[in-house]
Amino acid sequence: MSQATDAGDEHVLAADGTFDVHDQPVDLKIYRFEDWIALAFFWLLAGVVFLQFFTRYALNDSASWTEEIARYLLICTVFVGAAIAVRKNNHVQVDFFYRVLPKPLTRVLATLVDLVRIAFFAYAVYLTAALMMRIGGQPMSVVDWPIGIVYAVVLFGFALMTWRALQVALANWRRGASVLERPELHETPEATG
C-alpha cells in the first residue's frame, strides 16, 4: 500500500502516475467582519513596525511616534482578535471536571461558565466606557491624538466579545451541550454568524 493511501484519502498521484495536487477552494464566507478588522489592524501594525525598523536602522533617525502607535495598534489587534477567539470558542479552558462529574452536573457547570463569561465581558464594556469618560480626551504621549481612540477600539472589542459570547451560549443551549462537555463539537462548523 502506498504512503498516500496510508495517510487517508489524500492521493497525490494521478492515474497516469503524474504528481497531481489541488488546493482546497478558498471560502471567504467563513470569515466575519471582526476577522477583517483585526487583519487591517495587524497590517497597519506591521507597516508601522517596518517603518520603525527602517527609520532606526536604515536612516539612523528613528521616528519617535512609531513605538507608541505600534503599541496601540497591537492593543487594537488583540482586543478585536479576542472577539474572534470568543466566536470560535478557542479560549483556554479546563475540562478535567467535565470528564469525571455526572453529565447533569456538567451541563449546569457549562451553562454557568457561559453566563459568567457573558457577565465578565459585559462588565468589561462598562468599565472601559467609564474609563473613556474619565481619561478619553487626554492626548497620547507622543502623538497629539486623544487616547480615547484606543479605548474606543477596546470598548468595541469587549462589546463584540459580549455579543459573540451570547451567541455561543445560545448555540450551546440549543444543542444541549458545550465544547467543555463534548470536545468533538469544536470540530463542527460554527453555529454563530
Q: Classify residue 117: in a domain, yes or no.
A: yes
Segment 159-187 mean pLDDT:
87
Segment 89-99 mean pLDDT:
80
Specify the higher pLDDT residue, 165 or 95.
Answer: 165
DSSP 165-180: HHHHHHHHHHHT--TT
**What CA–CA distance (Å, rounded) separates 41 from 72?**
10
Q: pLDDT-based confidence at 5, cuts 50/70/90?
A: very low
Give residue 66's domain range: 3-187
Q: Classify residue 112: in a domain, yes or no.
A: yes
- How confident is the model at residue 75, as a pLDDT? 96
Q: Classify residue 110: in a domain, yes or no.
A: yes
Among 159, 140, 189, 152, residue whose Cα is nearest residue 34: 159
**What CA–CA distance (Å, rounded) separates 88 from 152?**
23
State which H helix or E strand residue 32 sits in.
Answer: none
Segment 100-110 mean pLDDT:
88
- How confident is the model at residue 125, as a pLDDT? 98
Give the pLDDT confidence of 134-162 residue by residue, as tens digits.
Answer: 998 899 888 889 999 999 999 999 999 99
Q: Classify residue 44: in a domain, yes or no.
A: yes
Q: Classify residue 11: in a domain, yes or no.
A: yes
Q: pLDDT-based confidence at 17, cuts 50/70/90?
A: confident
- How confident is the model at residue 163, as a pLDDT? 97
- How confident is the model at residue 187, as a pLDDT? 56
Q: Is the pLDDT of residue 91 over 90?
A: no
Q: Is the pLDDT of residue 86 over 70?
A: yes
Q: Classify residue 76: in a domain, yes or no.
A: yes
Q: Is the pLDDT of residue 92 over 80?
A: no
- Look up the pTM and report it: 0.80
CA dihedral 76, 82, 83, 88 (to 10 degrees): 150
Segment 61-84 mean pLDDT:
93
Specify the higher pLDDT residue, 11 or 179.
Answer: 179
Q: Classify residue 178: in a domain, yes or no.
A: yes
Cell of 162: 459580549
Q: Classify residue 193: in a domain, yes or no.
A: no
- How confident is the model at residue 32, as a pLDDT? 87
- How confident is the model at residue 20, as a pLDDT? 76
Q: Give the rounded percent of residues in the chain with a pLDDT score beyond 90.
A: 51
* Number of domains comprising the chain: 1
